[in-house]
Homo-oligomer: A and B are copies of this chain.
């Protein structure tokens, strides 16, 4: 029975699985690849995590729970101050995700990429995994945006929130692709700049005039 000083098998497995899930993907990563790279025995996975999906769940919770706690902290602070600014609520939603790398180092970076990947590939991952991980965050932020955008119909608000999540997930999962596409002009190392760009983009999208309203203002 030990908990404090184990630079241990279990942790080595978690770290390696995290890295592989993030870079290659969950369903194409074999347990043998993980254990051989971590330098541990194959059976150790079933001993510590029972199944492959058990391992995934523990990897996910380890990297996503702190992020969601931070999100709710920031939202709590806003609500305690009665602050229902769209931009600041957006920031509370996006910044903890985008800053995971600098807060949690390599673990944060990998966790973020797993998250982004899984948004589009729930292959082999049951639906309720996501529900459990994000239900509270979704509920709280939906309500906050309801207060921040009272004139916007529920349906439009949810759609726009959906678009924001998509932009975020894509940024988290594959902003390295943008780096290669732009021949290095765009890179994600300057987290501050990415946060500002995404927050301003999302805020503008959320507060856009309704399609019916004749105030687009983007004509040539």
Interface string of A164-175 (1 = CB under 8 A from B): 111111110111
Given A120-B117, A166-B170: A203 and B216 interface contact (C-beta under 8 Å) = yes
Identify A159's interface contact among B118, B169, B178, B203, CB under 8 A.
B178
Q: Which of the four size classes fits the interface of chain A?
A: 35 or more
Identify A208's interface contact among B120, B204, B216, CB under 8 A.
B204
- Bound Cα distance from A84 to B156, whole angstroms: 27
Interface string of A80-98 (1 = CB under 8 A from B): 0011111110000000000
Interface string of A111-151 (1 = CB under 8 A from B): 00000111111011000001000000010000000001000
- Bound Cα distance from A154 to B218, whole angstroms: 19
Q: How far is the CB of A30 from chain B (nearest CB, A)?
A: 12
Cross-chain contact A220 with B178 (CB below 8 angstroms):
no
Given A181-B138, A208-B200, A211-B196: A162 and B155 interface contact (C-beta under 8 Å) = no
Cross-chain contact B160 with A201 (CB below 8 angstroms):
yes
- Bound Cα distance from A130 to B177, whole angstroms: 10
A181 partner residues in chain B, CB cutoff 8 A: 138, 158
Interface string of A195-220 (1 = CB under 8 A from B): 01111111111111111000011111
- Bound Cα distance from A197 to B209, whole angstroms: 10
Cross-chain contact A123 with B24 (CB below 8 angstroms):
yes
Identify A116's interface contact among B120, B138, B204, CB under 8 A.
B120
**Interface pairs (19), CB distance under 8 Å:** A25-B27, A82-B220, A83-B220, A87-B218, A87-B219, A120-B121, A120-B170, A155-B182, A159-B194, A159-B198, A160-B197, A160-B201, A162-B186, A163-B202, A164-B167, A193-B211, A204-B207, A204-B208, A205-B205
Could you tell me which A residues sit within 8 Å of B by CB distance? 24-25, 27-28, 82-88, 116-121, 123-124, 130, 138, 148, 154-156, 158-160, 162-171, 173-175, 177-178, 181-182, 185-186, 193-194, 196-211, 216-220
